Amino acid sequence: MTPKVSIQYKDLVFEKLTKAFKQENEILQAAQWIAESLSKGGWIYISGTGHSHMLAEEIFYRAGGFARVIPILDPALMLHESASKSTEMERKEGFAAEIMKPFSITENDIFIIASNSGRNAVSIELALHVRSKGAKTIGLTNLEHSQSAVSRHSSNKKLFQVVDLFLDNCGEIGDASISIPGITSKVGATSTVIGAALLQSIMVQAASILIEKGIKPEIFNSSNSDNGEAENEALISKYKPFIKIL
């Protein structure tokens, strides 16, 4: 009988989730920064290149998610126009400054940057740009992979070295995690599922902190629930002038 590698993958993801969630101090610190930012009228910015852009979408316009989220979704860094081109663009020094021209970052904002390898120029320069504006930066990365690779930025730094705080997704070098006889490369990436879980845990904790402070955060509901549509329309009307893609 063929071994159930799907179960092997499930067990490995559970193992990595357990390890990733041992970063309790980092999760709490990130949540505290976000709660503080929102209490001051700040914004949660989030970016990711390649497949990591899915983490930028994970907390944007999401049922149960904060309204004050601005994802950086530059088509050149995503996969829907040219996947291979996005690989080229995420390595381009100077491109981050172009991406950030429409956005006015302040010291009240938080910027989350997702990059599994943490070695490419755009993610590193985004962190450097944002920190120069006084905003806090949080990285989501694969520490083992990042430490095993050479930086592709002229500073020779990796993402985890230039952010204020980073969380490790505890992934494999190369992201894919399961070896199958007859296939040279591993299969089954884990960075998205672990990264999404870490992100959501931070947001949940931040919401709780705000309530403890007596601040009711603005949260999107499910637009497919009976009462969610009206609540969401009010938030969309309020924030559409500030979040163009909303």
pLDDT digits (tens, 9 = 90+) for 112-168: 999 999 999 999 999 999 999 999 999 999 999 999 999 999 999 999 999 999 999
What is the distance between the alpha carbons of residues 57 and 137, in angstroms, rounded to a whole number? Answer: 18
187 in any annotated domain: yes
Q: What is the pLDDT of residue 228?
A: 75
Distance between CA 63 and CA 67 in Å, rounded?
Answer: 10
The pLDDT value given to residue 3? 66
Using alpha carbons, select from 173, 219, 169 the residue that is nearest to residue 196. Answer: 169
Token readout for 237 is 């009307």
Please give the single-letter amino acid code of residue 1: M
Given this model, what pLDDT does residue 2 score?
A: 59
DSSP 101-148: TT----TT-EEEEE-SS--SHHHHHHHHHHHHTT-EEEEEE-HHHHHH
Could you tell me if residue 7 is inside a domain? no
In a domain, 226, yes or no: yes
**What residues make up the domain containing 111?**
26-239
* Structural domain contains residue 16: no
Does residue 96 lie within any of the structural domains?
A: yes
State residue 204's pLDDT score.
98
Identify the CATH number of the domain in which residue 218 sits: 3.40.50.10490
Residue type, 31: A
What domain count does the chain have?
A: 1
Domain membership flag for residue 244:
no
Ranges of the chain whose pLDDT falls below 50: 1
Strand order in the sheet with 110-114: 69-72, 44-48, 110-114, 136-141, 165-168
